[in-house]
Structure 1
Amino acid sequence: MTTTLTFPRVVIVTGASQGIGHAIARTFLDHGDIVIGCAFSSADNAPHAMKLQAQFPEQFFYYSVDITKTDAIANFIREVETRLGRLDVLVSNAGKNVFKGIDCEPEDWHHNLDLNLRSHWYIAKCCRALLEKSKGVILIMTSNHAFSTMPGCAPYNITKRALLSLVQSLTIEWGPAIRTVGIAPGFIDTAGNQLWFDAHEDGEASREETIRKHPVGRIGTSEEVGELCLYLASQAAGFIAGTTIVMDGGRSALMQD
């Protein structure tokens, strides 16, 4: 499938205030694209996003959006359409590690579903008309937890598994006008993953033990995720659709630890 993307493209990146989302936004900006970033944090509480805005005043625009709320998503996309009139790429990245275990409380279960599953479906739905006009691309950030997980990581892993099916359904029902691909990162060196390491008795030892379980001898970087997004959104990746690409440094290749 070929696309008709023009440059600079207009790109939405959710969860753009920090971590992987921030790196993805920066990668597209460095490529010359226009990026609309959003996250739950207000501008006053999103210093990394504000640095991007200062560095790319004509290319980067930041919005505070609670993507667990469907009306907030709909209003955000209407604002994007009013402001820029087009959309070429949606990087649906926002999410959080809801690691409460399978015996979690109902409120944890519903929050996880709203944040880590429904938001991806609904923002894609709101962006559909704009993306059809540009023959655009949807990239959905899932996780290697979609394929195998660890004790205590439910209900997060359940929604991440469901996103594999969302990628497939978007591809077969909205193609060929819109191409959809999933990305499943493993351990990426972010503040969120560091919190997980630090939750252990010896955070540094936990980090080193995790690194040893990766055949490449390290954990990944947010910038590497950004570069993969840039490639998958390009015409060079036009025959990649309906699948989820795992980038986990070979971690999932191990049968046992």
Structure 2
Amino acid sequence: MYFRSSVLKKKKSLLDGKVIVLSAAAQGIGRAAAIAFAREGAQVTATDINGEKLKELDGIPGIKTKVVDITNKDQVEALAQEFNHVDVIFNVAGFVHHGSILDCEEADWDFSMNVNVRSMYLMIKAFLPKMLACKSGSIINMSSVASSIKGVVNRCVYSTSKAAVIGLTKSVAADFLEQGIRCNCICPGTVDTPSLRGRIQARPDPEQAYKDFIARQKIGRMCTAEEVAHLCVYLASDESAYVTGAKYIIDGGWSL
């Protein structure tokens, strides 16, 4: 019997050497994605406005942290100037306003649109030229099932903003397809994150609010941030090289 004497090579990680920048990385989906990216060999720059929580990522191999307000044009452009090239940007930052259109004041509308949509505009506009110079890049945007996919009670401006994210994603994908740029968005249902827990505690009856969230989960539980992060890794990797302009629903069947 003949055996090859060469030692079997270690399997290459999905994101070896890829340079990734993401927002809202201090907790929730952003944190889970930053860790998942780094675990797969990426060089990750994790940003957030919450410097104290962001420090919890310090020391994880492959991750460096930076406090950035991604709604601030000057800060976003300064961040982009720190990179010669970027392979992936993941726009995670978002805000969930509770209420119908009658509960939404102009300030609420403007704030939600600024965080949920304008921040993505700023990030993409700042980093896209670097991707175009390399004729390669993957842009991942965080949308939601509460958008053009499904009408959800008391999510007026949030759903409107997340529908805009889907439109932005498809527009960027169409405009730069031939230049090697991919742009996709992720549309979760209810994800168990510190942000969600905070919103539940802010309700008049937190216990009932939690029961209401669980009751609408057809699969019987909420999604975890780590489950969303697995999808992020796929969209950041070359395994999704033929995927662009897509909206990926991860909601346990809520939108069915």
Task: Output the TM-score relative to the length of structure 1.
Answer: 0.87
Cα offset, 1:213, TM superposition: 2.5
Report the Cα distance in structure 1 between the residues aligned to 2:113 and 2:208, rounded to whole angstroms: 32
Report the Cα distance in structure 1 between the residues aligned to 2:204 and 2:56, rounded to whole angstroms: 35
1:144-200 residue CA offsets vs partner (Å, 9 max, x unmatched): 111223332221111101111101100010113110111011100101111233344
Partner of 1:52: 57
1:251 is paired with a residue whose SS is coil
Partner of 1:141: 142
- Equivalent residue letter for 2:34: A
Q: Are 1:206 and 2:209 counterparts?
A: yes
Structure 1 unaligned spans of 5+: none
| Alpha carbons of structure 1 residues 94 and 148: separation in structure 2 relative to 1, 3 Å | same
2:86 is paired with a residue whose SS is coil
Within the candidate set 38, 41, 44, 1:35 is matched to 44
Q: Are 1:112 and 2:112 counterparts?
A: yes
Q: What is the RMSD computed on CA atoms of the aligned residues? A: 1.8
Cα offset, 1:100, TM superposition: 4.5
- Equivalent residue letter for 2:39: D
Report the Cα distance in structure 1 between the residues aligned to 2:156 and 2:177, rounded to whole angstroms: 32
Runs of 4+ in structure 1 off by over 6 angstroms are none
Report the Cα distance in structure 1 between the residues aligned to 2:138 and 2:17, rounded to whole angstroms: 14
Cα offset, 1:122, TM superposition: 1.7
Report the Cα distance in structure 1 between the residues aligned to 2:17 and 2:207, rounded to whole angstroms: 42
Q: Are 1:18 and 2:20 counterparts?
A: no
- Equivalent residue letter for 2:78: N
Partner of 1:62: 65
Cα offset, 1:136, TM superposition: 1.1
Partner of 2:94: 95
Within the candidate set 166, 169, 174, 2:168 is matched to 166
Structure 2 unaligned spans of 5+: 1-13
Partner of 1:226: 229
1:72 is paired with a residue whose SS is helix
Matches within 5 A, 1:189-200: 189-200=192-203
Report the number of matched residues. Answer: 239
Percent identity of equivalent pairs:
29
Report the Cα distance in structure 1 between the residues aligned to 2:80 and 2:99, rounded to whole angstroms: 32
Partner of 1:175: 177
- Considering only CA atoms, is the larger Rg found in Structure 1 or Structure 2? 2
